[in-house]
Structure 1
């Protein structure tokens, strides 16, 4: 392996978000998206997981209690991307969003993946997506990726969910 290249087994393990209201953030990440609350530090922090991992999402108010979201045209996190294992579970997530009355900012088919875009209660960008198998990824004649952004058929996604 090239010493200047990161090991291919490295993964991004979790995201820790500053939120203005912990209970409001929990209603979104726990109650709407379905993450399990693993640990809580009073009314200032909570750690959430899928599948019993120690945490995938940390939420805290340590520096942000009652604060406003950052301005739209500023630096910072663009979005947190949450990877779903398959199309049916992404469709299930869409059902949960609709039931909770959460508006999508967009929905795209990128060739390599299908994605739903929205905002959490603190206006942090959230992407819910599923990857297509690598052998289905669109490629140019030279073998490089040929990603695109086409509208995602939401009704078809809902129809293929398991709910």
Structure 2
């Protein structure tokens, strides 16, 4: 039997077209903190204490938006929350901030898990998931 040699994700690098706004999304909407910056690239590293994202600024403008139905690449990134109340609270915060929402909290494949999908300012699809009791 072959056993995995990896132990999870250390970080995920995302290319974003609106670096400051994307970092602010993770900090203000999800309560993440900024770990560091690299002005020479430029990049901003944000974390929830478990996962770290490296947000890299695009080099060319205008950036080409990702199409999940046509391109190979990141379809979405999903983060878990501890309970249904937190999922609903995040949804309300996203709504109040005018964040584009693909769908509100709904059962995931019949439940009891629930999830929502929204978009960060650069158009990255972000799923927030409560895995259920």
Q: What is the TM-score when the length of structure 1 is the normalising length? A: 0.67
- Structure having the higher strand fraction is 2
Structure 1 distance, partners of 2:71, 2:118, is: 18
Q: 2:55 aligns with which of 44, 53, 59?
A: 59
The structure 1 segments of at least 4 consecutive aligned residues displaced by more than 3 Å after TM superposition are 63-66
Number of positions where the alignment pairs a residue of Structure 1 with one of Structure 2 = 127
Q: 1:16 to 1:71 in 2, by over 3 A?
A: same
Residues 22 and 45 in structure 1, CA contact (< 8 A), matched pair in contact too = yes
Structure 2 distance, partners of 1:12, 1:131, is: 19
TM-align CA RMSD: 2.3
Q: Provide the secondary structure at the position in 1 that maps to 2:100.
A: coil
Q: What is the TM-score when the length of structure 2 is the normalising length? A: 0.80
Residues 19 and 65 in structure 1, CA contact (< 8 A), matched pair in contact too = no
Structure 2 distance, partners of 1:64, 1:89, is: 36
Flag structure 2 segments of 5+ consecutive residues without an equivalent: none
Flag structure 1 segments of 5+ consecutive residues without an equivalent: 134-163
Q: Provide the secondary structure at the position in 1 that maps to 2:122.
A: coil
